[in-house]
């Protein structure tokens, strides 16, 4: 595996993408860096007072940005059929994790709502992680829905995703 493909800025396969995909990629990166600048300007005094390091939150966010960009490039370079084949399993996994947040002692509360799960030092919010897989599963059902399941199941799926 070419390690340069893991870092979005150095990925040479992007030149083969459609113009819209390249623009969307750059727009995402621009918004990401604007968000980092805003985080820096908003959190510096708080981080300096609480942790004696004004860059504490910025460094943490930067670490997660690097991890997520590598994950982004791995996913982008996977074949779409492989991702669609795994989407329903991840959907079920994250749905189970959403229900785990409701179990007393396992769900971590934030503002009187148990939406987080602490896995070691890393808190995760399954309701955010399930969203891309809801979109993929919806696309899969809408395209192949009439062949494998009835039309009412597809319609029910669309309304249930819209409701949540």
Whole-model pTM?
A: 0.69
62 exposure class (CB count in 10 Å sphere: 0-12, 13-18, 19+): middle
- Residue 73: burial class (beta carbons within 10 Å; 0-12, 13-18, 19+): buried
Cα dihedral: 135, 141, 142, 148 (round 10):
170
Q: What is the pLDDT of residues 28-74, one digit of tens each?
A: 889 999 999 999 999 999 999 999 999 999 999 999 999 988 888 88
Rounded Cα gap, residues 155 and 145, in angstroms: 9
Q: What is the mean pLDDT, run by run of 10 residues, along the chain of 164 residues?
A: 63 78 87 95 94 94 90 84 87 90 79 77 86 85 64 60 58
Strands of the sheet with 113-119, listed across from one edge? 107-110, 113-119, 122-124
């Amino acid at each position: 595996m070419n390690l340069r493909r893991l870092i979005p800025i150095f990925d040479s396969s992007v030149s083969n993408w459609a113009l819209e995909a390249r623009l969307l990629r750059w727009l995402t990166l621009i918004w990401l860096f604007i968000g980092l600048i805003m985080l820096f300007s908003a959190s510096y005094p708080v981080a300096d007072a609480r942790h004696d390091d004004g860059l504490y939150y910025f460094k943490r966010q930067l670490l997660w940005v690097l991890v997520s960009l590598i994950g982004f490039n791995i996913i982008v370079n996977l074949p779409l059929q492989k991702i669609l084949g795994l989407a329903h399993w991840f959907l079920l996994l994250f749905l189970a994790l959403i229900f785990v947040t409701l179990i007393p002692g396992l769900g971590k509360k934030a503002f009187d709502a148990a939406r987080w799960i602490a896995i070691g030092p890393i808190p995760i919010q399954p309701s955010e992680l399930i969203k891309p897989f809801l979109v993929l599963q919806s696309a899969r059902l809408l395209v192949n829905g009439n062949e494998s399941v009835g039309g009412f199941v597809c319609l029910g799926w669309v309304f249930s995703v819209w409701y949540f």
